[in-house]
């Protein structure tokens, strides 16, 4: 093994686990992947994790990746973190978490999200200011929930971070984020002038600079932007929104120009924990969806306006584009390279379907289409409430059962309901990219299918059948971690990370031809969703029966009763 090989580490800190990919910086060869699990706690809409566990998992995963790659620690030149979006990490004066982080799929902040949307003047005002309308997932709503439910703890907060920000700060000692992950907070304003409300950059100079005002070696210099041609962030913190939610901008990290910005190098403590040299360069990093886009080669230096469907704990549909999105059904995110990343996200995807398989005593692949053997079963697997559509108090719903219903049809219907919920945002996504969804060249544009579900036969066939589109299934399995590795390589070399990932070929894979679109199943699910939303899906089970509020369970109803209203 040549000792001069340059290796970069891409970290994917997701909801359920941390994965660290050791990658050859020159060729993109995946040398090894280290893994460590996370714990998620909570019920009745609560979903929380201890950020200290994320750090321990990162250390374990990185050490395992370097060991299994068989390279000396001195070969590692760069590292970047991609993290689950939206989570609220609150730090005390000692820079350690004051409480468990509120995760993206914690729906307790739904009332705060609705109130915030109204206070700023409704969805149109939020779209103009931030590109997104507040829902329970967004960090602004979570901060507001904390202020209302735990005011003493909120008053003690000395720093507010996103998950990836927190881990980058543990690596470098520097509080910094990027436009991509920041755009998921609902307090990052894309319409603001570059630099407006970003006093964090000056604050870093004040804190880290010496008596001569210079930024010491290893500290983030906002004027240095490796791989980003020196541009300013494509937006800024919105002072008006921060005032609206009572969030002091001094609590927030500086916004680097992009995810491949060189933030600094490892602190002594981080280097010792990871078993790596202090000279390892740390990139700003980004959110997991933004990193996946980089890993696919999506962005200004790669593919634009090509839709992606990701099947994981959540289901997402997104694309990199130069068009400025403004659709209330989508999150108008920034990408990490200066383009936009409009995205539709659901809360219930692979884990929800796996739960149905467990309930039915079946293997996850023991599924048949929901319309077979039972006259048309429909499952809306909204076990955690739902984000898209915005139904935070929804419960799972099963309808259309008959004496002859095969359990495999029920499982197949769970797949269909989850896939339908993701795919119904596709036309909105294409329109947000400035495309006509009905145009033949757009209608036939393939979907890139990624995430854990992309490795499952039933998931792949369900998406083909309900979308009617050809699929590209990339051969690489760890696209978030690979995208983060490209950010790390960009920070080391100054190269554009999207161009690097394109040269590495991480987004290439098998092409599956289009199947005839299953209009009957699509329309059946759409009809049930429309009929159930005003009553069964807009409240929890206990609210329906008792006028109270409780945890969502699966609801079983008959299709005829729904049709009758």
The tokens describing 330, both together, are: 């989508």
The tokens describing 78, both together, are: 């760069």
Q: Kindly provide the residue ranges of all beta strands, DSSP E only, lying in 67-127, ordered along the sequence.
A: 76-83, 89-91, 101-102
Nearest to 57 by CA among 93, 94, 78, 84: 84
Q: Which residue is it, tokens 């190269």?
A: 495
Nearest to 487 by CA among 287, 215, 220, 200: 287
Q: Which residue is it, tokens 């549909």?
A: 317
Position 318 scores a pLDDT of 96
Q: Which contiguous run of DSSP H or E holds residue 334?
A: strand 331-334
Report d(CA 129, CA 400) in Å as an integer.
43
Distant-in-sequence, close-in-space partners of 291: CB < 8 Å, separation ≥ 6: 10, 12, 82, 259, 285, 336, 479, 480, 481, 483, 484, 487
Q: Which contiguous run of DSSP H or E holds residue 188?
A: strand 188-189
In terms of phi and psi (left: phi > 0; alpha: psi -120 to 50; beta: otherwise), the region of 185 is alpha
> Could you tell me if 244 and 187 are in contact, meaning their C-beta atoms sit under 8 angstroms apart?
no
Q: What is the DSSP string of 248-303?
A: -GGGSPEE-SSTT-EEEE--HHHHHHHT--TT-EEE--EEHHHHHHHHTTBSTTSB
Catalytic residue among 24, 221, 288, 327: 288
Report d(CA 175, CA 167) in Å as an integer.
10
Position 238 scores a pLDDT of 96
Residue 543: Cβ within 10 Å count: 15
The tokens describing 450, both together, are: 């990624």
Q: What is the DSSP string of 120-178?
A: TTSHHHHHHHHSS---TTSHHHHHHHHHHH-HHHHHT--EEE-HHHHHHHHHHS--EE-
Position 552 scores a pLDDT of 38
CA distances from residue 40 to 13, 101, 550, 563 in whole angstroms, order as listed: 13, 10, 19, 38
Q: Is 288 a catalytic residue?
A: yes
Q: Are strands 89-91 and 159-161 parallel, antiparallel or unpaired?
A: antiparallel
Distant-in-sequence, close-in-space partners of 122: CB < 8 Å, separation ≥ 6: none
Q: What is the DSSP string of 395-458?
A: --EEE---TT--HHHHHHHHHHHHHHHHHTTHHHHHHHTT--TTSHHHHTPPEEEESGGGG-HH
Position 477 scores a pLDDT of 87
Q: Which residue is it, tokens 């290796």?
A: 7
CA distances from residue 422 to 86, 124, 224, 329 in whole angstroms, order as listed: 19, 23, 39, 12
Segment-wise mean pLDDT, segments of 10 residues, the chain, 565 residues: 79 96 97 97 94 98 98 98 97 96 95 95 93 95 98 97 98 97 92 40 36 35 39 74 97 97 98 98 97 97 96 93 92 94 94 96 92 77 90 92 93 97 94 93 92 94 96 94 98 98 95 94 96 79 39 41 35
The tokens describing 219, both together, are: 């500290």
């Amino acid at each position: 093994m040549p000792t001069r090989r340059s290796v970069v580490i891409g970290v994917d800190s997701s909801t359920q686990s941390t994965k660290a990919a050791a990658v050859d910086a020159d060729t993109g060869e995946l040398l090894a992947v280290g893994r460590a699990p996370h714990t998620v706690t909570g019920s009745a809409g609560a979903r929380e994790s201890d950020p200290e566990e994320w750090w321990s998992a990162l250390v374990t995963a990185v050490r395992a990746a370097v060991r299994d790659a068989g390279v000396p620690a001195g070969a590692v030149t760069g590292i970047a973190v991609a993290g689950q979006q939206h989570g609220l990490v609150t730090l005390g004066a000692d820079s350690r978490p004051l409480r468990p982080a509120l995760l993206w799929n914690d729906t307790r902040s739904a009332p705060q999200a609705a109130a915030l949307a109204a206070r700023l003047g409704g969805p149109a005002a939020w779209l103009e200011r931030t590109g997104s309308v507040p829902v329970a997932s967004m960090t602004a709503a979570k901060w507001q929930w904390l202020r209302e439910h735990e005011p003493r703890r909120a008053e003690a907060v000395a720093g507010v971070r996103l998950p990836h920000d927190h881990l980058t700060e543990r690596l470098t000692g520097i509080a910094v984020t990027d436009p991509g992950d920041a755009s998921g907070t609902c307090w990052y304003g894309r319409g603001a002038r570059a630099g407006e409300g970003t006093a964090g950059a000056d604050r870093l100079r004040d804190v880290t600079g010496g008596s001569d005002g210079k930024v010491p070696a290893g500290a983030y210099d906002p004027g240095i932007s490796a791989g980003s041609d020196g541009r300013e962030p494509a937006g800024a913190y919105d002072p008006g929104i921060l005032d609206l939610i009572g969030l002091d901008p001094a609590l927030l990290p500086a916004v680097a120009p992009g995810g491949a910005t060189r933030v600094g190098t490892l602190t002594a403590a981080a280097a010792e924990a990871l078993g790596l040299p202090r000279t390892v360069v740390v990139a700003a990093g980004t959110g997991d969806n933004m990193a996946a886009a980089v890993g696919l080669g999506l962005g200004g230096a790669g593919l634009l306006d090509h839709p992606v469907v990701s099947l994981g704990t959540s289901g997402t549909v997104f694309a990199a584009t130069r068009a400025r999105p403004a659709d209330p059904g989508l999150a108008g995110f920034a990408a990490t390279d200066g383009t936009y990343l409009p995205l539709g996200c659901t809360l219930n995807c692979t884990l929800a379907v796996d739960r149905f398989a467990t309930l039915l005593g079946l293997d996850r692949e023991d599924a048949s289409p929901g319309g077979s053997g039972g006259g048309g079963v429909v499952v809306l697997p909204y076990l955690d409430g739902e984000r898209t559509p915005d139904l935070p108090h929804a419960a799972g719903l099963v309808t259309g059962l008959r004496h002859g219903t095969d359990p495999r049809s029920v499982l197949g219907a769970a797949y269909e309901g989850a896939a339908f919920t993701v795919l119904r945002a596709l036309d909105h996504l294409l329109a947000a990219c400035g495309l006509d969804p009905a145009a033949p060249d757009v209608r036939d544009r393939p979907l890139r299918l990624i995430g854990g579900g992309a490795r499952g036969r039933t998931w792949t066939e369900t998406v083909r059948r309900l979308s009617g589109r050809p699929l590209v299934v990339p051969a690489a399995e760890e696209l978030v971690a690979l995208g983060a590795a490209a950010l790390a390589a960009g920070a080391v070399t100054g190269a554009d990370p999207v161009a690097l990932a394109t040269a590495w070929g991480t987004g290439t894979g098998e092409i599956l031809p289009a199947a005839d679109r299953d209009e009957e199943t699509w329309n059946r699910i759409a009809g049930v969703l429309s009929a159930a939303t005003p009553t069964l899906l807009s409240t929890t089970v206990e609210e329906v029966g008792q006028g109270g509020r409780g945890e969502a369970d699966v609801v079983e109803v008959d299709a005829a009763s729904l049709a009758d209203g």
